[in-house]
Structure 1
Amino acid sequence: MATLGLSEADKAAVEAFRQDVVEPSRTSLVIVDFWAEWCGPCKQLAPVIEKVCADYASKGVKLVKVNVDENGFIASQFRVQSIPTVYAVFQGQPVADLSQARTEGQLKQYLDQLLSQLPIESDEKAQAEEIAPLIAMGEEMLAGGEAERALSVFQQIADIAPDNAEVLSGLLRALVALGQLDEADALLAELPAEMQKDQAIERAKAALALARNARPVADLSGVEARLAADADDHEARFELATGLMGNGDRDGAAEQLLEIVRRDRAWNDGAARTQLLTLFEAVGLEDPWVSAQRRKLSQILFS
């Protein structure tokens, strides 16, 4: 932004803009809100944009307000013709016009899209890189049946990142693995509604649902005898699958549920398929075991 021939006031405004907007935008997403004291819509937008930018500060978003009456040269450089005008600036260049976003939801939608596309440096990203090895350690312990150690690890990570969905998912699943279902329920109830929709939390919910419905069974011989007498006794087969699941035999449980789907996919309003999907969610949709079981399910459904 050239300053040749500008008044001292405009030069000062350009320098302030460089320090407040251009420099921070090298690594952050700077939201520039052009406004004026006499502008009614500006005053209506102000609390919304201030709240959203504050909520997104840890994601690398910064808000800068520019009074057009005091910074006419800056406004002219951005070709501001009406206010409020809101631009997102990254690496010194406008990357999006957010002027049409007037609600919290609309602004968040724009910001989420931009943050997913731009290499923004943020506290959240730095923290995520720091705790990633610890999360992997906790997950390895869970997979290896070391639930108590996993719980300890996830509790320690939660002290660092209390709002991280992956960490909370691990903590919840460790509680479930230890049979502390009421504690898991209580922790889940405390989570914000928005976080409860996160895929990692959905995985923990599925694990909790399975634990509630699939308790360990010491002796499955009775239900196995019923099934041996009648291979189409889907209720017995489902009961066997539930018992196997409770005993930690996910291969056996999946085999029985797949067999129900193969014999009668509509049985009990598709209960076997629903239980299979819950099992897949609990194990983790990216897990190779789940991929293999889903292929088996697809072969049955589309054969």
Structure 2
Amino acid sequence: MGNAFDQANHNSNFALVQAVNLLSLAAVVAQAWDTLVSFSNEVEYLWRGRFRFIKALYFGSRYGMLAVQVMNQYLNFRLRVDPSICRGALVFKPIVAQFGLMLVEIILLIRVYALYNQSFKAKYLLLAIFIISTAMETIGNAMVVHDLAKARGCETPGVDNKALALSGVGAGLCQSVIFIATLLNLCLGRRRRTPLTSLMLREGVVSFILLLVLLAVLMAFEVVRELYVKDGDAKGIGEVVFSWYLALISIAGSRLILNMRQVAAQHLSLLRQEPERDPTSNEESIYLTSLFD
């Protein structure tokens, strides 16, 4: 009877491991596939011209996060055969999670800055919001890393809920400002909207919802793990959640830049073909495209 129970338990654990591997691999495939299908547009719209900060953000979101994903999958595999690296793997994840989130936040803030015609007031207001939110996220994340660094073996120690709350409030502050500023522009600039500004407004709202969901899932998982789930049972779920977090953050950040660059290039081409058009009617688009010249 005992042998049958042990065999059933072994089979269920094996099935769980296989499911985790498959779902984590699916995240890698999705991220790699998006890189491949976007490569021709990337070459056409981003490889030309000077290497500016916005391009650095793109390559960080696309290839930097892809490298992070590969490293994450490697660590997940190594953990099963070499538990001695558990502490390093635990510390690695919150650090790269904040790195990915920060990339997307910077991209979204730059887009809002462009939507407001790169005004002096918008620049310093958004910069102040970024500094405050990043400081809160960094302090909260440092507290999380400090707790995880105390791990013994592969058992994940409990994380201070205050640290999670501080990080969440910081991220929420930044995203809320981006969302409200985008909605204001959506309402106030309806009459003078161009295809480029319309794209940015739509993607801004979608990005806000996506990031909100991702952050909510990550924090909810951590709370549920501490309260209800045994650490061993949570590891597989955590690997899948984190793999998809990295993939979606990478796809969102790189797509935000690539789509805007593509529409900006098309709009500039249209302006050159119709020089008689009143330039003041395209003032917003001129500010937006100037970020990529």
Task: Return the TM-score normalized by structure 2.
Answer: 0.27
Q: Which has the higher contact order (CA 8 A, sep 6+)?
A: 2
Q: Decide which structure has the larger Cα Rg and report it.
A: 1
Name the structure with the higher strand share: 1
TM-score relative to the length of structure 1: 0.26
Higher helix share: 2
